[in-house]
Amino acid sequence: MTQIPFSGSYPPNDVQFLLKQITIENTPIAEKEALIQSGQKHYSQMLSHESLPSAAYLDLFQQALETNKQRLAADIISLAAGIIGTRPQGITLVSLARAGTPVGVLLKRVLQDYHQLNAAHYSISIIRDVGIDANALRFILKHHAPETLVFVDGWTGKGVIGRQLAASLQAFADSDSVVIPAELYVLADLSGTAAVAASAEDYLIPSCILNATVSGLVSRSVYDPHTAASDDFHGCVYYHDFAEQDLSQFFVDEILASVAEQWGNPIRAAHYQTGQAAISEKLLADLATRYNVSQSNFIKPGIGEATRVFLRREARLLLLQDDAAEATLHLSWLAESRHIPIVVYPDLPYRAVALIKEMTL
């Protein structure tokens, strides 16, 4: 079948989602968790349908945006410069759906408006244990050279997606005889696994607070090998019913306004590798022992990953470096609203860590 890219709720020039719009049954979070942990289904085969955030939660998003937009804008400027410095042969942005999508849109606009570089921007699926969408890669490679591809995400947690990217691109080189640089570009590299990052600090990237309504009304990606055709893109749900509450373009406009205010200031250099990998590995080992966690998949370090647990999974515990920190107010709100215990852990190397509830099966 012919694959048709779409732009979600973004202008077509900002991004092309290489995802197949599908309908899928709702799987309640508790049921989904039991199916994942029992091994009956992979998380990517199911979707818990989203609901619109409450007014109180939207207030927390607006507060986070106001507090962090200058920092985020500076990091976008830095990351764009890092991309230019490592891609002299041309730039093709490939954001990883879905946390990478708003970052990719912002990078595209900064490259276009301030560097006069008209980089194409695609958003494609990558799924832990499943891999990157090879059909989406083949689509991109019909139009762009492999050495121009720049894989963009919002942040790293434990480095799982970075390792999955490397494994997937090695498999793609074996199957398609095309070598693509396995380099990940992020705003915040907590695990030390990104090739280039604007920061290694666990700060609040405001887009992590929301789901589809800050990501072009697109769900996280879905892939079921039993129903997908061999030439299909990975799937997604397009929440067109949420259009009136969509904040995707608003978020981009707010950050770009901050970019304009800061343009011309000295650019903080994007970093390459740091000592974050050792910090991440030690934390995972310590928490696994302290809380009797059976596998690292149940430990989600950093504000972004912890937020995803509360939005999509069954949480067991929220660990906070400081329960009065503005950066984690939304996490406290989410935990309290779900009656999930909060533990203050002053020695935590990140602002937050969430533990997933291990189900009794």
CATH number of residue 74's parent domain? 3.40.50
- The residue segments making up the domain with residue 297 are 276-356
Q: Please report the pLDDT score of residue 350 as a whole number.
A: 95
Q: What is the DSSP letter of 326?
A: G
**Cα end-to-end distance, the chain, whole Å:** 40
On whether both 243 and 331 belong to a single domain, the answer is no
Residue 24 lies inside a defined structural domain of this protein: yes
Residue 7 lies inside a defined structural domain of this protein: no
Per-residue pLDDT of the chain (361 residues; tens, 9 = 90+): 557 899 999 999 999 999 999 999 999 999 999 999 999 999 999 999 999 999 999 999 999 999 999 999 999 999 999 999 999 999 999 999 999 999 999 999 999 999 999 999 999 999 999 999 999 999 999 999 999 999 999 999 999 999 999 999 999 999 999 999 999 999 999 999 999 999 999 999 999 999 999 999 999 999 999 889 999 999 999 999 999 999 999 999 999 999 999 998 888 777 655 678 899 999 999 999 999 999 999 999 999 999 999 999 999 999 999 999 999 999 999 999 999 999 999 999 999 999 999 987 6
Which of residues 230, 262, 294 is at a domain's end? 262
Q: What is the DSSP letter of 99?
A: T
On whether both 101 and 67 belong to a single domain, the answer is yes
Tell me the two tokens of residue 135: 């059909």
On whether both 92 and 201 belong to a single domain, the answer is yes
Q: Please report the pLDDT score of residue 3 as a whole number.
A: 76
Residue 143 lies inside a defined structural domain of this protein: yes
Residue 10 lies inside a defined structural domain of this protein: no
On whether both 225 and 319 belong to a single domain, the answer is no
Q: What is the DSSP letter of 47?
A: B
Q: Please report the pLDDT score of residue 226 as a whole number.
A: 87
CB-based contacts of 115, cutoff 8 Å, min separation 6 = 80, 84
Q: Please report the pLDDT score of residue 266 as a whole number.
A: 86
Pick from 154, 165, 158, 151: nearest CA to 100: 154
On whether both 291 and 207 belong to a single domain, the answer is no
Cα angle value 234/236/238 (rounded, 5°): 150
Q: Please report the pLDDT score of residue 271 as a whole number.
A: 66
Residue 179 lies inside a defined structural domain of this protein: yes
Torsion over CA: 23, 26, 29, 32 (sign): negative
151 close to 162: Cβ distance less than 8 angstroms: no
On whether both 162 and 288 belong to a single domain, the answer is no
On whether both 123 and 253 belong to a single domain, the answer is yes
At 297, which CATH number?
Answer: 3.30.1330.30
Q: Please report the pLDDT score of residue 276 as a whole number.
A: 84
On whether both 172 and 320 belong to a single domain, the answer is no
Q: Please report the pLDDT score of residue 360 as a whole number.
A: 76
On whether both 191 and 283 belong to a single domain, the answer is no
Tell me the two tokens of residue 353: 């860590």
On whether both 281 and 251 belong to a single domain, the answer is no
**Burial annotation 68-94 (CB, 10 A radius, 16+ → b, else e):** bbebbbbbbbbbbbbbeebbeeebbbb
Domain tally for the chain? 2
Residue 9 lies inside a defined structural domain of this protein: no
Residue 133 lies inside a defined structural domain of this protein: yes
On whether both 322 and 249 belong to a single domain, the answer is no
Q: Please report the pLDDT score of residue 163 as a whole number.
A: 94
Which of residues 204, 229, 262 is at a domain's end? 262
Q: Please report the pLDDT score of residue 275 as a whole number.
A: 78
Which of residues 204, 239, 262 is at a domain's end? 262
Residue 361 lies inside a defined structural domain of this protein: no
On whether both 148 and 173 belong to a single domain, the answer is yes
Q: Please report the pLDDT score of residue 13 as a whole number.
A: 97
Q: Please report the pLDDT score of residue 267 as a whole number.
A: 84
